[in-house]
């Protein structure tokens, strides 16, 4: 296990490097000149040239890249185009809020999706399964922000049960922080729940068709044993893998929910950067988001290797 | 049509299909169906409530008829989704066929690239593309088209690889059949069912993602009425006119749900192993 | 009273648009300590018969008619829990694809221990020790160590030994082995057959041995049942069947064995033609389309299983004494 972990970690390095190249090249894909695109076509030639000079965009590409990447290990992500602020502290300040929402949303999604999906899978074609299929498909078809809006209007605005928008840091007032968390977390969780539920159902059904489940019955094992040790254990492992592949869905849902609830997370920062066409900010936040994404994937893979004895073989 | 006959045994899918048809017709005949011009402002009747006789669903902040805007909004949603899926189908199809037929390094490189693209969530890809091109309907089409490309590339490639190794293809090739002919006569009929299911599912995603981008302000720009953009404005006027966001969202939900139900039914229907 | 008595068993898969009649009116008995071979080509209904006995037919399979008696008690009347206690304890199963039958993510030893835990009141630790003992008994060396391994780390032969260990765990009265050696090479085949024979001599278990290959079972079985298209077409003691096969199908099967003692790897295509579709069975003799003795009446008249000797019965009009 230790060797495998080291091996995967080692593989992670070139992956990150590849990512940095892609993200760096991205800014140069902009039709025409990036600076021109950022300031608009009405800006004068001299102004553009001056900005190019200021941001070092007139140097050879390789020099720019080396300059950019050598700052990364020290946490230097460059400065924003508009306000000339260092990007790293800006992003860093948003990580706690983003993480909090993501974890809370995921937890709710798992609590909603796992039991219902597993039950539907175990009792395939039962009335519950049919109900589950319809409800989950509807949930799956529902725009996340719409669900969020409904929750916000009913619970937040009309009934005044919960604060509908905003954020208070946990360190400042834990209770308030949690109050503000409830609506966004439920919107995210209820939106993702059907997704997870459907994956869980599929995984259980797949496991049920395995011969070892049939053979477990032939050995006369109790239903409980068969379900826990033979069906669910295998289904959860394959669910973990599918989940790892779909983790991006969580990340995109997160962006929308942050925007809807004015949640000061990193997702909103990206949206603002895109709207303002601040390429340096886009570059940096995409790099961070994608690294987080890859890191979660790595984690899932390690967990998979830990749970499934067949993985470490190769 | 054998297909239509079999569809009758799936009443849910049939209903969903009819619902899709109705939405398509609504989009086509929007000018006939919509009671008002969607962009016609009437400051006298701003925020007319739900159930107003002249404006069933009320009016928005400019006194524009919400029902008419939703009817016209279906045009943007469907057009963007169809166009994006068409782009993905075309690009993905070509790349997949290319990878499948050429094999070797080209295959490996193309498919690794597709894997990478697939791993990135569609909304992220879209953020990147919209960042490059600026927010517009065109950007959204390109963005979603790019994001969905790997799905179709994979299907096309695996179909080509499967067929390429079949002996009768070797024979056909030896007799001088061109790759284009092979694809039309041997590959296409084989993958039509999966392709159809994937197209339906992608359309559902396309409508959802277009609305999400619109909601983030990165999609179709005002004053064009689109469901996503209506949700953004609707959110600002949640107190005065809740029906803006409510019905725009409901429209997205209904259409996406219909596409998903149809896709599910289609998959069962086209599955040769289905026992019904 | 026989140990197992299958009486007029009829099992089918009920699809909306068709019914696959996999097993039709099958009757046979297995005496305590006896080894009986059930032979037939692929699709003849052997596995469905077995699944019916254990009441583990996959849906939409149903037992439409008949009785399955174990020591006189009809298994079809048992409650779910009672049936569970029969499986693995009184009737144990050995399957063809051992790798697929073993849970990939649970150590081998635990999968055998599960059997003890399901049928006896023992602690987990005791069950584990007994499981290790079973592994040792089926000839796996370094059993304590091996018990902690996973299925994919075992060779095919060892996987099959593991399955046999799980089957023997509770000293079953009957072991059903569904083509346990088909996936193995010849030397391992012999070892597995030897293990089964040992189980009979040491534990006194009866064995219902399923195979599509007559040659494999010659030395193992006391009695043989020949199955064709969901029916038993001939049955009798092994020696009688080999000396004077009566049914044209049995004769064909025997003729396709290159040499009874020679090597069996050479698998001759038995009889030309295909068995009938189980969703559309012919009215007359089901073998008629492939039979070289076929007569006009075979196509309309469905022959009964008739005794030609004290323990020898056959289903063919050539042996039906009187014609009604
Ligand atoms: N799960 C199932 N669903 C539908 N039909 C089935 C199913 N299992 C078996 N059958 C059908 O029942 C008939 C008998 O199958 P069975 O598996 O008993 O054959 P078999 O004699 O065991 O063959 P083999 O030597 O290949 O194992 C076949 O026609 C088969 O198609
Ligand atoms: S009944 Fe007729 S067809 Fe059937 S085996 Fe006997 S001779 Fe052949
Ligand atoms: Mg079988």
Confidence (pLDDT) at C84 = 96
What are the C-alpha distances in Å from B259 to residues B81, B202, B274? 12, 9, 21
The answer to whether the CB of C60 falls within 8 A of the CB of C15 is yes
Confidence (pLDDT) at C173 = 95
pLDDT band at C51 (very low <50, low <70, confident <90, very high): very high
Out of A109-118, C154-163, C262-271, least confident range: C262-271
- Count Cβ neighbours within 10 Å for each residue of B149-187 and write b for 16 or more, e otherwise: bbbbbbbbbebbbebbeeeebeebeeeeeeeeebbeebb
The answer to whether the CB of A276 falls within 8 A of the CB of A82 is yes
> Which among A31, A140, A143 is the nearest to B212, CB-wise?
A143
CB contact under 8 A, A218 and C97: no
Is residue B276 predicted with pLDDT exceeding 50? Answer: no
Taking alpha carbons only, the member of A269, A63, A292 closest to residue B131 is A269
Please state whether the peptide bond connecting residue B223 to the residue before it is cis, i.e. omega within 30 degrees of 0. yes
Taking alpha carbons only, the member of A14, A223, A192 closest to residue A109 is A192
Is residue B275 predicted with pLDDT exceeding 50? Answer: no
The answer to whether the CB of B234 falls within 8 A of the CB of B220 is no
**Can you tell me which atom of ligand 2 is nearest the CA of C299?**
3
Average pLDDT value for residue range B69-81: 89
Tokens describing residue C66: 């008949």
Average pLDDT value for residue range C15-26: 89
CB contact under 8 A, A149 and B264: no
What is residue C119's three-state secondary structure?
helix
Is residue C324 predicted with pLDDT exceeding 50? Answer: no
Torsion of CA A189, A195, A201, A204, to 10 degrees: -90
CA of C222 from ligand 1 middle (Å) equals: 26
Is residue C55 predicted with pLDDT exceeding 50? Answer: yes
Neighbours of A189 (CB within 10 A): 23
Out of A152-161, A164-173, C1-10, C235-244, least confident range: A152-161
Nearest-CA distance B179 → chain C (Å): 38
How many Å apart are CA C69 and CA C86, to the nearest integer? 12
CB contact under 8 A, B127 and A271: yes
Out of A244-253, B69-78, C20-29, C59-68, least confident range: A244-253
Q: Is the CB of C177 under 6 A from ligand 2?
A: no
List the single residue in C with minimal CA-CA distance to B276: C16
List the single residue in C with minimal CA-CA distance to A124: C59
Q: What is the pLDDT of residues A262-288, one digit of tens each?
A: 899 888 888 888 888 888 888 888 888
Residues of C in contact with B8 (CB under 8 A): none
Nearest-CA distance A299 → chain C (Å): 19
Neighbours of A125 (CB within 10 A): 10
Taking alpha carbons only, the member of C59, C80, C82 closest to residue C70 is C82
User: Of the ligands numbered here, which is closest to the C-alpha atom of C296?
Assistant: 2
Tokens describing residue B88: 């993905």
What are the C-alpha distances in Å from B261 to residues A118, B89, C323? 21, 21, 60
List the single residue in A with minimal CA-CA distance to B124: A252
Q: What is the pLDDT of residues B120-133, one digit of tens each?
A: 777 878 888 888 88
In this complex, the chains that touch B, judged by 3 or more CB pairs closer than 8 A, are A, C
> Whose structure tokens read 């059907």?
A194
The answer to whether the CB of A121 falls within 8 A of the CB of A203 is yes
Answer yes or no: pTM beyond 0.90.
no
What are the C-alpha distances in Å from C274 to residues C44, C234, C271, C288, C291? 11, 19, 8, 11, 11
Confidence (pLDDT) at B170 = 66
Q: Does C15 touch chain B (CB under 8 A)?
A: yes
Which residues lie closer than 8 Å to A123 by C-beta, 6 or more apart? Answer: A129
What are the C-alpha distances in Å from A212 to residues B37, C84, C105, C161? 64, 16, 11, 16
Q: What is the pLDDT of residues B180-237, one digit of tens each?
A: 776 677 667 777 778 888 899 899 999 998 888 888 888 887 777 788 888 888 777 7
Query: Torsions phi, psi of B52, nearest 5?
Result: -60, 130
Task: Kindly give the parts of chain A with pLDDT less than 50.
Answer: none
The answer to whether the CB of B202 falls within 8 A of the CB of B148 is yes
Mean pLDDT score across all residues of chain B: 80
Nearest-CA distance C229 → chain B (Å): 22
Average pLDDT value for residue range C122-133: 95
The answer to whether the CB of A252 falls within 8 A of the CB of B121 is yes
Nearest-CA distance C14 → chain B (Å): 10
Half-sphere exposure of residue C157: CA atoms within 13 angstroms, side-chain side:
15
Please state whether the peptide bond connecting residue C60 to the residue before it is cis, i.e. omega within 30 degrees of 0. yes
Q: Does C262 touch chain B (CB under 8 A)?
A: no
Cite the DSSP H helix spans in chain B.
2-7, 11-28, 30-33, 66-102, 104-119, 122-133, 137-165, 167-174, 179-182, 188-215, 227-236, 242-270
Counting residues of chain C whose pLDDT is more than 70, the rounded percentage is: 95
What are the C-alpha distances in Å from B118 to residues A29, B192, C237? 20, 22, 63
CB contact under 8 A, A220 and C102: no
Q: Does A310 touch chain C (CB under 8 A)?
A: yes
Average pLDDT value for residue range C275-285: 87
- Ligand 2: which of C288, C297, C299 to mutate, most ligand atoms within 8 Å of CB? C288
Residues of A in contact with B19 (CB under 8 A): none
Neighbours of C221 (CB within 10 A): 23
Residues of C in contact with B275 (CB under 8 A): 15-16, 60
**Can you tell me which atom of ligand 2 is nearest the CA of C285?**
4
CB contact under 8 A, B131 and A142: no
Which residues lie closer than 8 Å to B256 by C-beta, 6 or more apart? Answer: A141, A142, A143, B204, B207, B208
Q: Is the CB of C306 under 6 A from ligand 2?
A: no
Higher-pLDDT residue of B41, A290: A290
In total, the C-beta contacts within 8 angstroms joining chain A to chain B are: 111
Residues of C in contact with A211 (CB under 8 A): 95, 97, 100-101
Query: Torsions phi, psi of C70, nearest 5?
Result: -110, 115
Confidence (pLDDT) at C271 = 77
Neighbours of C126 (CB within 10 A): 14
> Which among A149, A274, A293 is the nearest to B130, CB-wise?
A274
Residues of B in contact with C16 (CB under 8 A): 275-276
The answer to whether the CB of C86 falls within 8 A of the CB of A191 is no
CB contact under 8 A, C166 and A225: no
Mean pLDDT score across all residues of chain C: 89
List the single residue in C with minimal CA-CA distance to A215: C101
> Whose structure tokens read 């008994």?
C137
Confidence (pLDDT) at B244 = 79
How many Å apart are CA A90 and CA A86, to the nearest integer? 7
CB contact under 8 A, C104 and A234: yes
CA angle at A283 for the pair A280 and A288, rounded to the nearest 5°: 125
Q: Does A206 touch chain C (CB under 8 A)?
A: no
CB contact under 8 A, B249 and A145: yes
> Which among B120, B135, B208 is the nearest to A143, CB-wise?
B208
- Ligand 1: which of C22, C59, C233, C270 to mutate, most ligand atoms within 8 Å of CB? C22
Higher-pLDDT residue of C275, A314: C275
**Dihedral sign, Cα of residue A204, residue A208, residue A210, residue A215:** positive
DSSP H helix total and E strand total for chain C = 11, 12
Helix axes A87-122, A174-208, angle to 10 degrees: 40
């Amino acid at each position: 296990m230790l060797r495998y972990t080291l091996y995967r970690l080692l593989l992670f390095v070139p992956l990150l490097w590849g990512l940095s190249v892609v993200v760096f090249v991205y800014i140069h894909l902009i039709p025409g000149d990036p600076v021109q695109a950022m300031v608009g076509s009405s800006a004068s030639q001299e102004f553009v040239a001056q900005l190019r000079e200021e941001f070092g965009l007139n140097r050879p590409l390789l020099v720019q890249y080396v300059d950019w990447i050598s700052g990364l290990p020290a946490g230097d992500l460059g400065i924003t185009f508009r306000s000339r602020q260092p990007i790293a502290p800006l992003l860093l300040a948003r990580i706690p809020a983003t993480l909090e929402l993501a974890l809370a949303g995921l937890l709710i999604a798992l609590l909603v999706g796992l039991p219902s999906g597993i039950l539907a899978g175990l009792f395939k074609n039962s009335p519950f399964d049919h109900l589950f299929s319809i409800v989950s498909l509807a949930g799956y078809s529902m725009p996340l922000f719409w669900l969020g809006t409904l929750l916000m209007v009913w619970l937040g605005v009309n009934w005044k049960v919960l604060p509908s928008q905003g954020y208070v840091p946990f360190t400042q007032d834990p209770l308030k922080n949690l109050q503000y968390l409830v609506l966004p977390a439920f919107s995210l969780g209820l939106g993702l729940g059907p997704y997870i539920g459907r994956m869980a159902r599929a995984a259980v059904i797949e496991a049920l068709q395995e011969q070892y489940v049939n053979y477990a019955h032939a050995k006369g094992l109790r239903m409980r044993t068969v379900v826990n040790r033979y069906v669910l254990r295998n289904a959860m492992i394959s669910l973990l893998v599918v989940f790892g592949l779909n983790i991006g869905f969580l990340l995109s849902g997160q962006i929308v929910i942050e925007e809807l609830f004015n949640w000061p997370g990193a997702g909103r920062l990206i949206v603002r950067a895109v709207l303002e066409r601040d390429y340096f900010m886009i570059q940096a936040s995409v790099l961070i988001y994608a690294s987080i994404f890859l890191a979660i994937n790595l984690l899932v893979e390690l967990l998979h290797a830990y749970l499934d004895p067949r993985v470490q073989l190769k | 049509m054998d297909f239509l006959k079999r569809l009758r045994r799936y009443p849910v899918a049939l209903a969903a299909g009819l619902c899709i048809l109705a939405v398509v017709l609504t989009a086509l005949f929007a000018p006939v169906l919509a009671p008002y011009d969607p962009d016609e402002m009437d400051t006298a009747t701003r925020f007319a409530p739900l159930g107003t006789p002249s404006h069933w669903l009320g009016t928005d902040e400019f006194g524009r008829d919400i029902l008419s805007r939703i009817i016209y909004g279906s045009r943007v949603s469907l057009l963007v989704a169809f166009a994006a899926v068409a782009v993905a189908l075309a690009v993905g199809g070509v790349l997949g066929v290319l990878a499948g037929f050429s094999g070797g390094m080209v295959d490996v490189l193309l498919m690794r690239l597709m894997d990478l693209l697939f791993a990135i969530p569609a909304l992220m890809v879209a953020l990147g593309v919209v960042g490059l091109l600026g927010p517009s309907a065109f950007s959204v089409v390109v963005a979603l088209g790019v994001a969905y490309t790997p799905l179709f590339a994979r299907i096309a490639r695996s179909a080509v690889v499967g067929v390429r190794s079949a002996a009768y293809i070797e024979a056909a090739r030896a007799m001088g059949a061109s790759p284009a002919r092979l694809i039309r006569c041997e590959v296409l009929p084989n993958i039509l069912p999966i392709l159809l299911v994937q197209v339906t599912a992608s359309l559902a995603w396309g409508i959802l993602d277009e609305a999400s981008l619109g909601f983030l302000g990165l999609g179709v720009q005002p004053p064009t009425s689109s469901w996503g953009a209506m949700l953004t404005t609707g959110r600002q006027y949640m107190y005065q006119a809740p029906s803006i966001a409510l019905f725009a969202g409901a429209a997205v939900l209904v259409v996406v749900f219909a596409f998903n139900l149809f896709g599910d039914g289609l998959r069962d229907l086209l599955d040769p192993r289905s026992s019904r | 009273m026989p140990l197992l008595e299958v009486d007029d068993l009829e099992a089918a898969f009920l699809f909306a648009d068709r019914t696959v009649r996999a097993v039709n009116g099958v009757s046979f008995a297995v005496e305590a300590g006896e080894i009986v071979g059930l032979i037939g080509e692929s699709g003849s209904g052997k596995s469905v018969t077995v699944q019916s006995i254990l009441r583990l037919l996959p849906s939409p399979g149903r037992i439409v008619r008949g009785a399955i008696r174990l020591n006189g008690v009809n298994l079809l009347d048992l409650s779910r829990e009672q049936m569970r206690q029969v499986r693995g304890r009184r009737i144990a199963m050995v399957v063809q694809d051992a790798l697929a039958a073993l849970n990939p993510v649970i150590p081998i030893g635990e999968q055998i221990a599960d059997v003890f835990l399901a049928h006896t009141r023992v602690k987990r630790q005791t069950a584990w020790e007994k499981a290790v003992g079973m592994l040792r008994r089926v000839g796996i060396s370094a059993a304590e160590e091996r018990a902690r391994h996973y299925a994919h780390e075992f060779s095919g032969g060892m996987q099959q030994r593991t399955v046999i260990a799980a089957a023997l765990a509770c000293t079953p009265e009957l072991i059903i082995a569904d083509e346990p050696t088909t996936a193995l090479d010849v030397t391992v085949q012999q070892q597995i057959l030897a293990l089964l024979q040992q189980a009979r001599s040491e534990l006194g278990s009866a064995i219902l041995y399923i195979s599509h290959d007559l040659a494999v079972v010659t030395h193992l079985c006391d009695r043989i049942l020949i199955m064709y298209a969901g029916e038993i077409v001939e049955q009798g003691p092994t020696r009688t069947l080999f000396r004077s096969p009566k049914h044209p199908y049995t004769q064909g099967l025997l003729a396709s064995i290159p040499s009874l003692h020679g090597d069996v790897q050479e698998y001759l295509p038995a009889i030309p033609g295909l068995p009938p579709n189980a969703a559309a069975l012919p009215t007359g003799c089901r073998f008629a389309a492939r039979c070289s003795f076929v007569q006009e009446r075979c196509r309309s008249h469905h022959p009964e299983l008739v005794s030609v000797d004290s323990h020898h019965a056959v289903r063919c009009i050539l042996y039906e004494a009187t014609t009604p």
